[in-house]
Structure 1
Amino acid sequence: MHDTLFGYRLPDFTQELISLRLTALGATEKPVFVELPFMGEDATPAVKGKRPIYYEGKWYEVPIYAGPRLGNGNRVAGPDIVEEPTTTILVPGDWQLTCDRFGNYLVYREGVSLKESFRQIGVTL
């Protein structure tokens, strides 16, 4: 498959699966979603440092947030970076990131509703 998509393959290379999606049908117990306590909008306690980044033709000194320390209600205005153990998220300059009550990150344009931001990139809520 990789050979077909990208034109090469590395048969002796060990693969690491980072993300997998699965759709299944079956009887299960109703999942319990744990709601995080509201922490307020201030995400300053999650800042672990600053770093220069080159973004859209300019250098910026941006805060680096430790993702696991972000909590319900914390809001981050770009440009900045959120680091998670398995990924790094760049929040562009005219976007913001909010952590919801379940620990999900909602990233959307400043001044534009979340629903409208999703519509602009082709996602229907």
Structure 2
Amino acid sequence: MVLSKRYLFFSVLHLLLLTDTALCIRFPDRVSTSINDELGRPLKAAVFALGSFWRSEAVFGCLNGVVRTTVGYAGGSKTNPEFRNLGDHAESVQVEYDPRVINFRQLLEVFWTSHDCRQVFGQGPDVGNQYR
């Protein structure tokens, strides 16, 4: 899919206007197979649906204490959701975090300041059931 420059510009502008932090994109170095950090200390995990999962990953991925983010689909009944056939799933991000640095309440504060609960079936420029 080719995105128009106008769409890309407004998507980035929307992201910048909705976050108080500088734009930060972290690319994962590996797929998470455990819920421990490099030293074997336990991490905690939480899943958030915040519209587009790329936006969600950008919002949570730059927080101090967030070790990994993994995007996917959650909250639906379909066995194997795919991009073109989601069923009733929502795009979401799993956030693995160090509870000694950031707690769940702080993650919820980030979620509620980044999510517009007045928008039904969409967030910002993203419209559809998967962006709720």
TM bracket, shorter-chain basis: under 0.3
Larger Rg: 1
TM-score for both structures, normalised by structure 2: 0.26
In terms of fraction of residues, the more helix-rich structure is 2
TM-score for both structures, normalised by structure 1: 0.27
